[in-house]
A and B are shown apart, each in its own frame.
Chain A
Amino acid sequence: MELGGTEKRIQALFSELSLEDRTHVPRFEQLCTQVEKRRVEKKKPAPLFRSSWAVTAAVIIIAAASSLALWSRQSQTVLNIAPREIPTPASPQVASLVESTQPTETTRPRKKRIVRQRQSDNVFSEAALLSRWQSPTQNFMQSPSSVSFNSLPQLNQSAKDLESFLPKPKESNQ
């Protein structure tokens, strides 16, 4: 490598610097022993029990326990409400169902459950009342000719038989 003027000067300054640095170079053996020390320190097993680990484990356990308790409570409330068929207004089971559910229900201390049960009871009683309901004008709808209205002549009936369905001419008109 051929060097120019500036390079030669820079090289001279650098070589002087390197000479100065060589006086401060730490002994290789000394460095190696320090390295070995560090190596041994790093090899030491970490303590098994650390406070931070204990705290983390405790937090995890508490969180798990609380979530389990919450889940079990929720599942209990779901199980207590038995699935029931919504009765049709005409079904005769409604009254009996209402009667059967009302006395067997045990009183629960929790507010929510009581409110839910009351609501469901109200629904059943209302359904039973509706099934029993009759219109007040239903009597007026019934007439002596209701039998003939309710029965229709058949196509293969004879003409005489069909005449019976026709209104009879009044004698006063003749």
Chain B
Amino acid sequence: MEISELKAELEKLHPASFGWALSCCRRNHADAEEVLQTVYLKILQGKAIYRGESKLQTWLFAVIRKTAMSERRKLWLRTLIPIPGTTSVVHNELESESERSQMQQRFQQALAQLPARQRETLHLVFYQDLSLSEAAEVMNISVGSARRHYERGKKRLRTELDREGVEYGIGWNRKENSSAVL
């Protein structure tokens, strides 16, 4: 794929990529932007090459996830050796938190309580509209594992939301038909 063509595709996927980067960076906007920049740099420099073996979106999301993980590792190292000028991010986060609706805040708090794998699976399925097999590809795990994370994540999110008292339209306790997602 040509660079210009790839750039156009990246532009199309940019909002979704940012949403995924946000999820990978625990809703930290500055970190998500940084990760996205690094990913684009990797792609334009040819360090990350798309070989057409999967959908561009799943490949891109996998690259974002890996980059976010490595950035998180670097950040962890930076916390061991404190560097001045890293507190401004927290301030920005607090500002954006105040803008959110109360229900969304609770939902995000409940989402933050979930283990990373469960949170990621739910995000890829519900937010990005990917199938479980695509989500598994992004997370580099088997479809069975992805399904397990999805089911457990759903169950746990529901209990967390019940605890938080979040209601959206119909009550949570109604019986439901748990159909296959694949």
What residues of chain A have their CB less than 8 Å away from a CB belonging to chain B?
1-7, 9-18, 20-22, 24-26, 28, 31-32, 34-35, 38-39
Contact = CB atoms under 8 A, between A and B. Distances in A.
B179 A3 contact: yes
Given A11-B126, A24-B96, 20 more contacts: A1-B131, A1-B181, A5-B175, A6-B176, A7-B126, A7-B154, A9-B172, A10-B126, A10-B154, A10-B158, A13-B168, A17-B104, A21-B18, A21-B19, A25-B14, A28-B11, A28-B14, A35-B40, A38-B37, A39-B41
B14 A6 contact: no
B104 A12 contact: no
Interface string B14-43: 110011001000000100010011001100
B127 interface: yes
A115 to B, nearest CB: 57
B170 A9 contact: yes
Interface in B139-169: 154, 157-158, 166, 168-169
A39 B168 contact: no
Contacts of B14: 25, 28, 31
Contacts of A31: 14, 33, 36-37, 40
A4 B172 CA distance: 11
Interface of B: 7, 10-11, 14-15, 18-19, 22, 29, 33, 36-37, 40-41, 44-45, 96, 100, 103-104, 107-108, 122-123, 126-127, 131, 154, 157-158, 166, 168-170, 172, 174-179, 181
Contacts of A13: 103-104, 107, 166, 168
A123 B102 CA distance: 103
Contacts of B176: 4-7
Nearest to A10: B126
A25 B170 CA distance: 31
B48 to A, nearest CB: 13
Please provide the 8 A-B residue pairs with the shortest distance between their CB atoms, ordered closest to farther.
A5-B176, A14-B126, A4-B176, A14-B127, A2-B179, A28-B14, A25-B18, A13-B107
A14 B130 CA distance: 13
A5 B41 contact: no
